Structure 1
Amino acid sequence: MGWGGGFRVTNEGRPWASIPPRLAAEVRRGLADEMTEEIHRRIPEYARRWDDAFAAVIHSAVDRVIDEVLRRVTDQETSAEPVAEFFRGIGHSVAREGRPLDTLQTAIRVAGLTVWRRISADAESLKLSAQLLCALGETVMLIQDEVAAAAAEGYAQAEAAVAGELTRRRSRLVNLLLARPPASAEDIIELARVARWPVPRTVAAVALYERRQGVGRPALPPDILADLSRSKPCLIVPDPDGPGRARQLDAALTDWVAVVGPTVRLSEVSRSMRWARQGLDLVRGGVIADDSVVRCAEHMSTLILFRDEELLAALSTRQLAPLAHLRQSQQDRLAETLLAWLQAGRNANEVAVRLHVHPQTVRYRLRQLDDLFGERLQDPDLRFELEIVLRARALLSGSGRASETPEGQVITLRR
């Protein structure tokens, strides 16, 4: 018996309306096994894990597609939603299992190709008309597209859910790493495992501040933990001294004020973060220059110097008391000269070179300093403390934060 002779196709986007139900049932016979075997043969990843449970999933998916074709042929008003919902679930499961969407889409294409090959092979024996052959082919392609789109949608939904959960786990991991006292190694390792974060040997904390609002999330390598939603945004960088790591951070953080703390063991992340945040305060205050990503390792003396500014101010008041009665301009000149003299090994000519003034001017200022400080300048301990407070004063002057002290008052340091 021939199919489709003298028969007019008016599908209007529903080609299955042209297919007699008996023909669909005829084509269906044995097709599920054929499609399953072809998927098994063409996709090595699926073949490697061809256990009973996985085979049942494939068989179920194949049967669902074939049943959908028959359903549409016999019921012209049927909805595509049930099969779409089924394949959204398949896509969701594939994503949750960590398998790629590309492989699933390949399986769908292989299944469609197998159906079309079967139809083509049976076309002559079934005496299919050209109209019916086209209707069958178009039906296969349309359902294949619907199935692929539904699977992709389910996959994307699952990936978004997984990504959201992963972000939450990584945020908890950041909190755990920064906890004081430090969390146990076992707790860190377990949370790192579920957060998909390889536990490194060394790390560095990074304190961040937006240069302007709405700069967006930086494009960071996946092994860098980032928590930008907290009140003090931060990163935890594994293997911070590894090859190329500095370039990665410089490239990713151009829109952020960023300070990298010292490299430490994993149990000492909070210490690295403490220094990074202090460094960030000094950068934002202008004491440390904001040159790309700032690294604490290059500014350790400044960090130590400003670890306790109240104590530093008290030391400054005490040791610079001989300058207190001078005008501000005189204080500035003599403080600058005294610092250069201490740094130059008490060589007047070197001081003149450093300050770009005449050596005679330097000698005049040094005589003034000798009159003000007297024999105290011969005390190495005093010279050490003087250099500390004068260095701090110079840094603050460069940042615009040096105190303007009225005549008759001692020089102080303030934030």
Structure 2
Amino acid sequence: MSAFPASAPSHVPREFADVIRDHLADLAEEMIAEIQASVPEYARPGDEKYVRAVRRAVEEALRLFLGRTAENGSGKGRLLEVYRAIGKGEANEGRPLDSLQAALRICARVAWRRLALESERLNLSHRRMSEVGEAILVYLDEIAAAAAEGYAGAQIKVAGELELRRRRLLDLVVADPPADPRAVEDLARAVRWTVPKTVAGVALAARSPGAGARPALPPDVLSDLDRSDPCLVVPDPDGPGRAGILDVAVRDWVVALGPPAPVHEAAQSLRLAREALTLARRGVLAGDGVIRCADHLSTLIIFKDEALIRVMRRVRLAPLGALRPAQRDRIAETLLAWLQCGYNANEVAARLHVHPQTVRYRLRQATELFGDQLKAPNDRFELEIALRARALSAQASPR
């Protein structure tokens, strides 16, 4: 809307309209020359089609300005329609609104300069000069506001279409089976996304209903937080400066980062991230920071087939069944630590914060219980998996 009072003249004094009409071609040339010299975005001397478009826009502006005399301001609707379309075109061309506004100011300045040159010949009074100047400013304000409205509308539309395309690209990247690489490359080119060498899928879950504020992420991160299973695709996750880009999200979201993978394996990376997210929500994995699947691969393997793990626990941990619950827990904890610490009782004692003699006593009990299982490497491996699964499950239960 105009920033000037309602009493400001909406028509152009006839004397000045006659000056513009007589010098329309010269004024248009002068305005175009100054616009191209002062606004880099409009300087395309070798593009004849573009120069003609600029010329049409300038001549249309002058004709509509002249219409203020003949129609006494009644052509305002047409004026605003034209400049909304111009603003929309600028947005679609990707030029900043400042460039258009600068061009409009240049046109107003050239028009006023022409008036100053002709004022003495026309014998215009100071009052008449003021009316012309105010008419120019009111006109400039109206068309600038209309152009800004068209520009904003186009930006919203373009942003919406771009976001839809980026979401479609995300769907293609994480498709299983993988999408045609040519389709990915074509859509990536359309949204100006450089296809990276590696990507990582990211699974997210809001920490509480309605509490998931959208994190500020780099523009090359593909995201869709509105779907039932929110996810991201992070390009080159191991690249310089990439390690902390998800840290901004962990306050409101539980975030699981899948392992780096080639683009055609993005679905697998996202699948692992979702599995890690599920384990975090169960309490198996800590979810207070970014959960990096690469740091929890063994846990993901253990919980990949829980039915199989239950069978392994029944078979390998059967000797613990004869013990009281508290004693069972102590023996299982000590035996797992011993297997993980390379069979070093002193390290086990330091890890569990007990005396080495206590560790040795418990290990003698474990040897009596498990016997040959502690001798064969394959049996020890399965026993460690079973004990690890038991410990992780116990960790999750209270949560």
- TM-score, with structure 2 as normaliser: 0.92
The gaps in structure 2 that reach 5 residues or longer are none
Q: Distance in 1 between matches of 2:9 and 2:318?
A: 97
Question: Shift of residue 279 of structure 1?
Answer: 1.0
State the match for 2:113 in structure 1: 117
User: Is 1:300–2:293 an aligned residue pair?
Assistant: no
**1:253 Cα deviation from its structure 2 partner:** 4.5
Aligned residue among 71, 79, 91 for 2:87:
91
What's the counterpart of residue 234 of structure 1? 231
1:86-165 counterparts in 2 under 5 A? 86-165=82-161
Counterpart contact for 1:16–1:136, Cα < 8 Å? no
Equivalent-residue separation in structure 1 for 2:30 and 2:72 (angstroms): 27
Mean Cα deviation higher: 148-157 or 363-372: 363-372
Q: Cα distance, 1:280 vs. partner?
A: 0.8
1:10-409 to 2 correspondences below 5 Å: 13-17=7-11, 20-30=13-23, 31-49=27-45, 51-76=47-72, 78-214=74-210, 215-400=212-397
Distance 1:361 1:22 in 2: 108
Displacement after TM superposition at 1:79 (Å): 4.6
Please give the per-residue CA displacement for 1:2-23, whole angstroms capped at 9, x wherever unaligned. Answer: xxxxxxxxx9623245x54244
Amino acid corresponding to residue 163 of structure 2 in structure 1: T
1:16–1:69 CA contact under 8 A, matched in 2 = no
Amino acid corresponding to residue 296 of structure 1 in structure 2 = C
User: How far is 1:192 from its partner?
Assistant: 0.9
Change (3 A) 1:313 1:34: same
Distance in 2 (CA, whole Å) between partners of 1:292 and 1:86 is 53
> Any idea what the Cα deviations from partners look like across 1:315-348, whole Å, max 9, x if unmatched?
1111001111322222111111211222233333
- The two structures, once aligned, show a CA RMSD in angstroms of 2.0
**Do 1:64 and 1:83's aligned partners in 2 also have CA atoms closer than 8 Å?**
no
Instruction: Name stretches of at least 5 consecutive residues in structure 1 with no aligned partner.
Output: 1-10, 403-415
Q: Is the 8 A contact 1:21 1:73 kept in 2?
A: yes
Is this contact kept in 1: 2:44–2:50, CA < 8 A? no
Q: Report what 1:5 is aligned to.
A: none
Residue type at the aligned position of 1:374: G
Q: Tell me: CA distance 1:359–1:200, structure 2 relative to 1, closer, same or farther (3 Å).
A: closer
Structure 1 pair 345–60 and aligned structure 2 pair: CA distance change class (3 A): closer
Counterpart-to-counterpart distance in 2, 1:146 and 1:296:
57
Residue identity over aligned pairs, in percent, reads 51
Q: Structure 1 residues 20, 114: CA separation in 2 closer, same or farther (over 3 Å shift)?
A: closer
> Cα 1:38–1:352, aligned 2, differ >3 Å: closer, same or farther?
closer
1:372 alignment partner AA: L
**Would you identify which runs of 4 or more consecutive aligned residues in structure 1 move more than 6 Å?**
none
Q: Is the 8 A contact 1:16 1:73 kept in 2?
A: no
Deviation at 1:287, TM superposition (A): 1.2
Count residues in correspondence: 391
Indicate the SS of the match to 2:196: coil
Which TM-score applies when normalising by structure 1?
0.88
Measure, in 1, the Cα distance between the counterparts of 2:347 and 2:85: 79
Corresponding residue of 1:412: none
**1:25 CA drift (Å):** 1.7
